[in-house]
Amino acid sequence: SVAPYFLSKVVAEAPVSAAVSALGGAALYPLVGLNRGKGKFERFVLTLVLEGLASGALGLFIGAVAPTTDTALALFPPFLVLMIVFNGFNIAEENTPRALRWIPKVSFIRWCSEGLAVNEFSGLRFSCKGARGPCCETGEQALERVSFGGSTVRGAAVAQAKLVGGLYVATLLVLRRSSPKFLRVEPPFGAPAAAAPSAAGAPHSVAWTAGAEASLQRVPFFVRGFARKRTEDYARGLADEGEGHDAGDILVTEEILLAAKEKQSSRGE
């Protein structure tokens, strides 16, 4: 089932993302000298945490929709560029072309920028003494100039939370529809591999020598399962081509592992 996989991924990654955002915000706040008003710091960190979760949720959604990893990596930057352009500071929402007015509403960068701006400027007062041009005497007036006059930190946080939830639901629906394939679970080091049918259909069990298993462990973990499967398939092919091989007689040695690797390299795999 896709749901347990997706839930475990979110539960594993979301706390890490939230912690990184919170730590970064906690370090940045005093260095920049932001507003020290009551509750300002807490709302600042919360806004950053929600932005990090929304960014991760968008990444999960694009990864679920894209057919390959390379496609997903290529799609993410254009999404970010659009969200930055329509973040509320560069182009006001009322000046956005009608066909693109949905972008600011789903831009977590827009909502994060809006929440941070409102949190920082609300309640501030400025001196206009000696000003040569238009001057804002209050933070609220400054927010009006960037179309954030009626915005609140709470409203921006709720919008980001809705984006996170919506992207999670959309990702789960896409995964259920596409029925993704999963890598098999690797047996513990030194444990015998489970029996599997050979290329010709005869059930051969495969065992690995200690040396071959040790060599396999030097392969990067994210391709180790692929290397094990290709090597065992190669060994079964050798067994099917030979004579007098009964079920259970396949043993993967370091020589077979090397030969399988050379064969894959010759094919450019």
> Which pLDDT does position 19 carry in this prediction?
95
Q: Give me the pLDDT at residue 181, please.
A: 58
Q: Which residue has the tokens 């789903």?
A: 106
pLDDT in tens, 56-98: 999 999 988 888 888 888 888 888 888 888 776 777 777 778 8
Q: CA 55 to CA 224: how far, in whole Å?
A: 30
> Mutual orientation of helices 153-178 and 2-32 as an angle, nearest 10°?
150
Query: How far apart are the C-alpha atoms of 119 and 130, rounded to whole Å?
Result: 27
Ranges in the chain, pLDDT < 50? 190, 198-200, 243-245, 247, 268
What is the reported pTM?
0.62
Supply the DSSP symbol for 185: P
Other residues' Cβ atoms within 10 Å of the Cβ of residue 13:
15
The pLDDT, as a whole number, for residue 244 is 42
